[in-house]
Amino acid sequence: MDAPEPSPDPSFAAPTRCLAFVVTEDWFFASHFLPMARAAVAMGLSVAVVTRVRDHRDVIAATGARVVALEAERSSLNPMAAGYAAGQLAAILKALKADIVHCIALRGILVGGTAAAMAGIPTRVYALTGLGLVGARTDTAGRLARAGLRQLIRGPLSSRRTRFLFENPDDAGALGLDPADTAVTIVGGAGVDPEVFAPRPMPDAPPLRVAIVSRMLWSKGIDVAVEAVRLARGRGACVELALHGAPDPSNRRAIPEATLREWSRDGVAWHGPTRDAAAAFAAAHVGCLPSRGGEGLPRTLLEAAACGRALLTTDVPGCRTLVRDGVEGLVVPPDDAPALAAALVRLAADPGLAARLGAAARRRIVEGGFSEAAVAQAVCGIYRALLGP
């Protein structure tokens, strides 16, 4: 069952405590964390969201949070630019008189944690939403980068009043933290609303309809899915792949639009971005994300599961946290088009299997702590513990 919605707590209203979210992009906060902001406002906290403001100010402000603009390009690796942003942010946090600084995603933690230290605010929540390329790399450079992050996040950016939020236990281990530690909380990603993403009748089959609803990035394995569909069709399977999403211009791993258009043939169709992921999954039998790694807990898999769709994904952190092979879906090695094609052939040959996996995926969301309400309850519990009576 879903956790109950947080109720207003008078003990946090006088004097009003201030919670400042730090996140690089307003669209990311709007797509994932609005329920968390609403829950914090319901607690009686004064909530501010410090972010680069583009098109989502109004939807964030509708939660009752104040939106504060901070220009910081998330794709920039320039230490001077990051240091300048941290200085600006420290001044903002002081002006807000923030009691808690909740930093979201790796860059938000690095810049926000530095700013909180500069502003003398020890009470911090570091929410890691995936390690990105740093987590996906298995070479020496990747190992060195993770070691550096461990030293930084657990060293100068940490305090005795820092709490860590992870979306999967692998990421906690990568930073040298024990998931059982009292300073660590594992949550079901950003959660999903099972009322909004509700099961609808399956489309007719064949063909087996597969949907990927995601940013169009090489790291998401979109090219692997395209190749797998062509391999499966070459083996006689009746499979169609629908791609819903746009390239992310701020991400160096974005797939060019020309490539996406070129792929749109032979059972593959790129539909561009969508504002209705539930409708995209309603038109499919399977929700797919063949990620190469670096995920926290992909929202697209949460949404597909809540819609009662079978899940097809890869054996990487985050994805394997939600999807148990043969239970909620099928899990294959990353970057392995033939293995993904074999899974597609199996699903196409057994429509009942997709239905059974989809029903189990829906139960996983509702009963397993992956709803928005369950995640908000866990996070608000951290706030209460940090702020005290």
Output b/e per residue, 310-348; b: 16+ Cβ within 10 A: bbbbbbbbbbbbbbeeeebbbbbebbbbebbbbbbbbbb
* Pick from 133, 82, 19, 135: nearest CA to 383: 19
Q: Which helix (H) or strand (E) holds 29?
A: helix 26-32
CA atoms within 13 A on the CB side of 67: 22
What's the confidence (pLDDT) of residue 333?
Answer: 98
Burial level of 178, CB count in 10 A (0-12/13-18/19+)?
A: exposed
What's the confidence (pLDDT) of residue 251?
Answer: 82
Rounded CA separation 387/14 (Å): 13
pTM of the full predicted structure? 0.90
What's the confidence (pLDDT) of residue 152?
Answer: 85
What's the confidence (pLDDT) of residue 10?
Answer: 45
What's the confidence (pLDDT) of residue 233?
Answer: 98
What's the confidence (pLDDT) of residue 75?
Answer: 52
What's the confidence (pLDDT) of residue 79?
Answer: 62
pLDDT digits (tens, 9 = 90+) for 306-355: 999 999 999 999 999 999 999 999 999 999 999 999 999 999 999 999 99
**Helix (H), strand (E) counts: the chain:** 16, 13
What's the confidence (pLDDT) of residue 380?
Answer: 97
What's the confidence (pLDDT) of residue 14?
Answer: 44
**DSSP codes, 324-371:** PBTTTEEEE-TT-HHHHHHHHHHHHH-HHHHHHHHHHHHHHHHHTT-B
- pLDDT tens, N- to C-terminus, the chain (389 residues): 444 544 445 444 446 899 999 999 999 999 999 999 999 999 999 999 999 999 999 999 999 999 999 987 655 445 666 788 899 999 999 999 999 999 999 999 999 999 999 999 999 999 999 988 777 777 787 788 888 888 888 888 999 999 999 999 999 998 889 999 999 999 999 999 999 999 999 999 999 999 999 999 999 999 999 999 999 999 999 999 999 999 887 788 899 999 999 999 999 999 999 999 999 999 999 999 999 999 999 999 999 999 999 999 999 999 999 999 999 999 999 999 999 999 999 999 999 999 999 999 999 999 999 999 999 999 999 999 999 86
Rounded CA separation 110/89 (Å): 12
Domains and CATH numbers, the chain: 10-191+371-387 (3.40.50.2000), 208-367 (3.40.50.2000)
What's the confidence (pLDDT) of residue 283?
Answer: 98
